[in-house]
Amino acid sequence: MAEKNLDWGNIGFAYRVTDHRYVSNYKNGAWDEGGLTADATVCISECAGILQYCQEVFEGLKAYRTEDGSIVTFRPDMNAKRMADSARYLEMPAFPEERFLEAVDMVVKANADWVPPYGSGASLYLRPYMFASGPVIGVKPSDEYQFRLFATPVGPYFKGGAKPTTLCVSKYDRAAPHGTGHIKAGLNYAMSLHAYVDAHEHGFDENMYLDAATRTYIEETGGANFLFVTKDGVLVSPKSDSILPSITRRSLLYIAEHMLGMKTEHRPVKFSELKDFAEAGLCGTAAVISPVGRVVNGDEVIDLPSGREKMGPVLQKLYDTITGIQAGHIEGPEGWIRKI
């Protein structure tokens, strides 16, 4: 299929309407057969649970054009499972994981000419989501839901691309202990918008959230987990019950340990340790690995030794490996790549 004629190197991280999306509805205790539609709009009750009480969960994954021109997705089974976990936590019926994978394949195939070319730095972002479509006025779970999955081509999440970001330690909290920080629900992102706008108004790219209970441990940003590299070359990533279990982070820790022979630590990370790290970065589907150059906490300014011009050498190696697996020129662990 012919590729769409976009300036692929400069598309940014934005929504573009593509041709086909998948829809399935849940009613009377069952999901319907589902299928593709050209209709990019949603029509629901004014009293739908999503509109009143924010009952919604979502996922994010990408389809990549490989060196030989074929199209692949990266560990979509992990997204299927995490979405089912998120749904159950919000008292929603899980969308069957096998059907999630079929929907991914169908939407990518139907929008194949929207998959950016190999080497462009862009990819096709996939957004599966599920929301309460039935009316609720008392606070309770809805009886009806809609699952949808659309695709939109995207470039780098941060404007500067690979240039290190500057973060501020947020005075706001993203997630409470024993709350919803570990699931991918829109409500967590609504919570973060004021903090995000505040950070941007003060010239920062993103927030670094600390743990809400003690404000001593590093949690995550609004849309990515953290990675740190110690001066001895150990890859460290924060562990917390109130952050999203990033698929990129889990993959990178595996790659570091099993493919690059590095030592890794997944453990609570104190903010006071930050000044001793050699490199810092954000990781996620959208962020891939985005380096962090500076973190500001009130009057305290912490500059990472890797500098403010480019990614540090260890994160660069991890970046090259994971993007190499996604582009098909490095063989990844079995089952990580799903051919479309």
Residues that bind ligand COI (CB under 6 A): 60, 223, 284-286
- Please say whether the beta carbons of 288 and 225 come within 8 A: no
- Token pair 């990580």 in the structure block, residue: 336
In the complex with ligand PLP, the residue whose CB is nearer, 73 or 225, is 225
Q: Distance between CA atoms of 136 and 157, rounded to whole angstroms?
A: 36
Question: What are the angstrom distances between the C-alpha of 72 and each of 95, 326, 336?
Answer: 22, 8, 10
Q: Which listed range, 86-94, 109-117, 223-231, 311-319, lies at the site for ligand PLP (CB under 6 A)?
A: 223-231
Q: Which of residues 27-86 bind ligand PLP (CB under 6 A)?
A: 60
SS3 label, residue 291: strand
From the list ligand COI, ligand PLP, none, partner contacted by residue 225 (C-beta under 5 to 8 A by kind)? ligand PLP
Least distance to ligand COI from the beta carbon of 152, Å? Answer: 11
- For position 246 contacting ligand PLP by CB under 6 A, the verdict is yes
Q: Which listed range, 33-41, 112-120, 153-161, 216-224, lies at the site for ligand PLP (CB under 6 A)?
A: 216-224
- Please say whether the beta carbons of 123 and 154 come within 8 A: yes
3-state secondary structure 58-109: ECCEEEEECCCCCEEEECHHHHHHHHHHHHHHCCCCCCCHHHHHHHHHHHHH
Number of residues that bind ligand PLP (CB under 6 A): 12
Least distance to ligand PLP from the beta carbon of 223, Å? Answer: 4
The torsion angles phi and psi of 118, rounded to 5 degrees, stand at -55, 135
In the complex with ligand PLP, the residue whose CB is nearer, 75 or 294, is 75
Least distance to ligand COI from the beta carbon of 127, Å? Answer: 8
Two tokens, residue 148: 């949808």
Q: Which listed range, 44-52, 160-168, 245-253, 299-307, lies at the site for ligand PLP (CB under 6 A)?
A: 245-253
Q: Which listed range, 63-71, 140-148, 158-166, 220-228, lies at the site for ligand PLP (CB under 6 A)?
A: 220-228
- For position 223 contacting ligand PLP by CB under 6 A, the verdict is yes
In the complex with ligand PLP, the residue whose CB is nearer, 107 or 244, is 244
From the list ligand COI, ligand PLP, none, partner contacted by residue 246 (C-beta under 5 to 8 A by kind)? ligand PLP
- For position 255 contacting ligand PLP by CB under 6 A, the verdict is no
Q: Which of residues 271-330 bind ligand PLP (CB under 6 A)?
A: 284-285
Buried b / exposed e over 154-176, threshold 16 CB at 10 Å, is bbbbbeeebbbbbbbbbeebbbe
- For position 205 contacting ligand PLP by CB under 6 A, the verdict is no
- For position 248 contacting ligand PLP by CB under 6 A, the verdict is yes
Binding site for ligand PLP (CB under 6 A): 60, 220, 223-225, 244, 246-249, 284-285
